[in-house]
């Protein structure tokens, strides 16, 4: 997505996902029109997050020192609104003036950005246009930016983590893809849902259920429970909440989701894909955008990635900002 807090144009970029239980990093390099995967790694957050982050970034011997990082959770917010057509600088000022109405932050300094979206295909012709507004508490942004700086790297963009999914989706421009999809990122303690129409976000929701709620046998690095370790009641609850989110998004936007694409470490929970398909009555696919990039890289990287690919989707999407930069 274009909405984000930019600083400069990259040719190589690291995407850094601050997960609740692990840090994930992906490096992409742009050579002409081609984008190559040139590195990836993950590490548990542990008892000393700053040390874990520094060691993760420094041990990779990455070509780039530039980092696109994510913010999320209760400190970040995404809203969709309608505004009259106007230049970007005027739109940003208009959003700032309306921030008290649009955003849930009170008496708190916020960092925000916005982007005009293409109208939905079913929307009537109007003088207003849909606008995506992304905002985060400034102290939270500064905290993560400072952590990257202390590790010896340079923050070049900050994005709301859930839109890393949108960027990752845009890496594949296959004509065979469905036009309306729901992207679902299941982390250790949170799950994010984004409805896309022709690659444009129309709705997103995040709720506080994840793989840790389903199973106590969880990989701290990849947020993926061991097959067969899930608890049926919690599994059903997670699948039902995702299905209800997709149903609400459809009703809210007047669109019908053709497929649900499940990613994140929690996407590997044994039985989740099947239960979600039953609850939603839709086709559900495991989405692993890392797999294709790694296969185009080398056999050693493919072996290193193993089944962990979905855990890197947000980090990959953050690094994918270099494609649109």
| Domain CATH for 275 | 3.30.420.40
Q: Which residues contact 318 (CB under 8 A, 6 or more apart)?
A: 13, 15, 16, 17, 26, 68, 69, 70, 157, 159, 161, 164, 167
Residues 102 and 16 in one domain: no
Output the pLDDT for position 305.
84
Q: Give the long-range contacts of residues 114-121, CB within 8 A, separation 24 or more.
A: 114/3, 115/1, 115/2, 115/3, 116/83, 116/85, 116/88, 116/91, 117/80, 117/200, 117/201, 118/198, 118/200, 120/197, 120/200, 120/202, 120/253, 120/254, 120/255, 121/197, 121/198
Q: Which of 136, 158, 184 lies at the terminal end of a domain, its last residue? A: 136
Q: How many domains does the chain have?
A: 2
Residues 213 and 317 in one domain: yes
Q: Tell me the whole-structure pTM to 2 decimals.
A: 0.89
Output the pLDDT for position 177.
86
Segment holding 243, helix H or strand E? helix 232-253
Residues 49 and 195 in one domain: yes
The neighbouring-strand residues paired with 80 are 132
Output the pLDDT for position 228.
45
Residues 148 and 124 in one domain: no
Output the pLDDT for position 292.
80
Token representation of residue 151: 């590790």
| Dist. CA 255–CA 6, nearest whole Å | 31
Segment holding 257, helix H or strand E? none
Name the DSSP letter for residue 1. Answer: -
The neighbouring-strand residues paired with 191 are 186, 207
Neighbours of 126 (CB within 10 A): 11
pLDDT tens sequence across 242-254: 999 999 999 999 9
Output the pLDDT for position 149.
96
Neighbours of 191 (CB within 10 A): 25
E strand spans, 117-251: 128-137, 154-160, 180-186, 191-197, 200-207
Q: Which domain holds residue 111?
A: 76-136
Token representation of residue 8: 């400069």
Closest C-alpha to 197, from 130, 243, 264, 281? 130
Residues 101 and 225 in one domain: no
N- to C-terminal Cα separation, the chain: 10
Output the pLDDT for position 213.
85
Name the burial class of residue 150, with classes exposed (0-12), middle (13-18) and buried (19+) by CB atoms within 10 angstroms of its CB: exposed
Residues 62 and 145 in one domain: yes
User: Cα dist. 119→81, 123, 276 in Å?
Assistant: 12, 6, 30
Q: Which stretches of the chain drop beneath a pLDDT of 70?
A: 1-10, 122-125, 175, 215-232, 295-300, 324-325
Q: Which of 136, 153, 168 lies at the terminal end of a domain, its last residue? A: 136
């Amino acid at each position: 997505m274009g909405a984000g807090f930019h600083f400069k144009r990259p040719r190589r970029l690291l995407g850094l996902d601050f997960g609740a239980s692990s840090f994930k990093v992906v490096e992409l390099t742009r050579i002409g029109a081609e984008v190559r995967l040139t590195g990836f790694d993950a590490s548990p957050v542990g008892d000393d997050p700053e040390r874990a982050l520094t060691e993760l970034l420094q041990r990779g011997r990455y070509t780039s020192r530039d980092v696109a990082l994510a913010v999320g959770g209760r400190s970040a917010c995404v809203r969709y609104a309608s505004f009259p057509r106007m230049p970007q600088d005027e739109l940003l000022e208009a959003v700032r003036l309306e921030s008290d109405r649009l955003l849930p932050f009170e008496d708190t300094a916020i960092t925000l950005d916005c982007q005009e979206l293409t109208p939905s295909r079913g929307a009537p012709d109007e003088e207003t246009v849909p606008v995506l507004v992304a905002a985060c508490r400034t102290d939270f942004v500064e905290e993560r930016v400072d952590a990257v700086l202390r590790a010896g790297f340079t923050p070049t963009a900050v994005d709301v983590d859930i839109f890393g999914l949108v960027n990752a989706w845009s890496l594949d421009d296959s004509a065979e893809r469905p036009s309306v999809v729901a992207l679902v990122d299941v982390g250790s303690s949170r799950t994010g849902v984004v409805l896309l129409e022709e690659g444009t976000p129309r709705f997103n929701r995040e709720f506080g259920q994840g793989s840790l709620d389903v199973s106590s046998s969880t990989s701290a690095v990849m947020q993926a429970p061991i097959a067969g370790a899930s608890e049926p009641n919690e599994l059903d609850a997670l699948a039902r909440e995702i299905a209800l989110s997709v149903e609400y998004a459809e009703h809210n936007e007047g669109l019908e989701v053709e497929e649900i694409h499940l990613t994140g470490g929690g996407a590997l929970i044994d039985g989740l894909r099947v239960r979600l398909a039953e609850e939603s009555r839709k086709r559900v696919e495991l989405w692993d955008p890392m797999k294709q990039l790694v296969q185009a890289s080398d056999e050693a990287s493919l072996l290193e990635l193993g089944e962990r690919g979905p855990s890197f989707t947000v980090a990959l999407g953050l690094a994918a900002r270099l494609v649109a930069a």
